[in-house]
Amino acid sequence: MVDFIRDFLFRRQGAAPEGKPHEQAELRLAAAALLVEAAKLDGSFDGMERVHIATLLKDRFGMDGADVAELIAAADEETELAGGLYGFTKEVRVNFDHEERISMIEMLWEVAYADGSLHDFESNMLRRVAGLLYVTDRESGDARKRVLDRLSGQAGGAGDIEG
């Protein structure tokens, strides 16, 4: 099944100018898997988190809704089969420049706070992923602050977000 999904993604997804379609599909799958893994850490992967991940992936990769839904489904399955975060983070680390890796951390913070609070497991994962992506604690903290600022602006007050 995973091979079918990967083959589908490789055929379906276009490449960025600097990459081959296969490489772009792997990168998208790795990024989506990290986001899905972050969403699952609090024990649930609810509709609000799925919508948030879909929005982030659409914005980041310029994908349409159907492709994003398929990518999230593939990432969900991939996280069930994977033996950890290393493979996903390696793909992102190798293919994203430093600013893009910081952006990935910011996306992860957004997913972690999508339900309005930060679970200890989510916080721990973010620290580990930041280290694996060679993003400093300060850069990760700055990304977290940007997310909290955006969310508190949307919620109408910082008291609505726990963290």
8 Å CB contact between 117 and 162: yes
Q: Give the whole-angstrom CA distance, residue 22 versus residue 17.
A: 13
**Which amino acid type is present at position 141?**
G
Q: Provide, rounded to the nearest whole percent, the portion of the chain with pLDDT above 90.
A: 57
Cα radius of gyration rounded to whole Å, the chain:
15
Q: What angle do CA 6, 86, 13 make, to 5 degrees?
A: 25
The pLDDT value given to residue 25:
87
Structural domains of the chain ordered from first start:
2-160 (1.10.3680.10)
Q: Give the whole-angstrom CA distance, residue 36 versus residue 24.
A: 18
Map tokens 């399955």 to a residue.
77
Q: H or E stretch including 1?
A: none
The pLDDT value given to residue 33:
95
The pLDDT value given to residue 115:
82
Closest CA to 8 of 31, 25, 32: 25
Please determine, for residue 161, whether its predicted confidence score (pLDDT) is greater than 50.
Answer: yes
8 Å CB contact between 113 and 150: no
Query: Under the phi-then-psi rule, with left for phi > 0, alpha for psi from -120 to 50, and beta for the rest, what region is 135?
Result: beta
Mean pLDDT of the residues in the chain:
83
When mean pLDDT is compared across 55-64, 85-94, 115-124, 151-160, the lowest value belongs to: 151-160
- Pairwise pLDDT comparison (2 vs 138), residue with the higher score: 138
Map tokens 């930041």 to a residue.
130
When mean pLDDT is compared across 22-31, 58-67, 142-151, the lowest value belongs to: 22-31
Q: How far apart are the first and last CA of the chain?
A: 38
Residue 14: strand, helix, or coil: coil
The pLDDT value given to residue 156:
57
Average pLDDT of the residues in 99-107: 95
Q: Residue 151 — very low, low, confident or very high, per pLDDT cuts 50/70/90?
A: confident
pTM above 0.85, yes or no: no
Q: Residue 17 — very low, low, confident or very high, per pLDDT cuts 50/70/90?
A: very low
